[in-house]
Amino acid sequence: MTTTSVDAGFVAYLVLLTVMGAARIAELVVARRLTAQATARGARPQREPVFVVMVVLHVLPFLLGPLEVALLERPFSTPLFATSAAALLLLGVARVWTLSTLGARWNVRIVQPDAVVVAGPYRYVRHPNYAIVIAELVFLPLAHGCFVTLVVVSALNAVVLFFRIRAEERVLFALPGYAEQMGTKKRFLPGVF
């Protein structure tokens, strides 16, 4: 990283990581409040060993990406950065839509909701937020061409989601009406997977 344009690109990448990191931290603050509300109504977060792994995994792009740029001297590409940043912005809008649709039922932990949600993106798929996270974990490292980070984090995320979604769906399918209203919908994209 010796030229000014590469340095400016790296700074832009760090700003993007900071904005995304701040959004994730804000979500954790909201989730803590919503967990307290769920506990007050009698719902308890499920014990899930994969949760800690998931948290660590979601921190990895913020650490591995800059490390990959520095150690492997990844060149900055303005079109790749702009495309990734635009995709992340659209994913942010989709995330707000998803979380606002769930309202107080959303959480980072597995907590049995008090009702089945079939509005918003849930009209089409069972797990729109996981689809958003999958895409974010692609575009965040891609913003600075961190292909090793992209592959490693995406592969680990696939393993984590395999266990996480199975645990979450055990709780959701036990909810009256969930199987009837959501059981035939795809998990991530309408008509896919």
pLDDT at 4 over 60: no
Q: What is the pLDDT of residues 150-188, one digit of tens each?
A: 999 999 999 999 999 999 999 999 999 999 999 999 999
Mean pLDDT in residue range 9-14: 96
pLDDT at 136 over 70: yes
- The residue ranges of every structural domain in the chain are 4-182
Predicted pLDDT of residue 192: 63
Mean pLDDT in residue range 113-124: 95
DSSP per position, 14-79: HHHHHHHHHHHHHHHHHHHHHHHHHHHTT--PPP-THHHHHHHHHHHHHHHHHHHHHHHTPPP-HH
The CATH classification number of 4-182 equals 1.20.120.1630
Mean pLDDT in residue range 122-143: 97
Predicted pLDDT of residue 49: 84
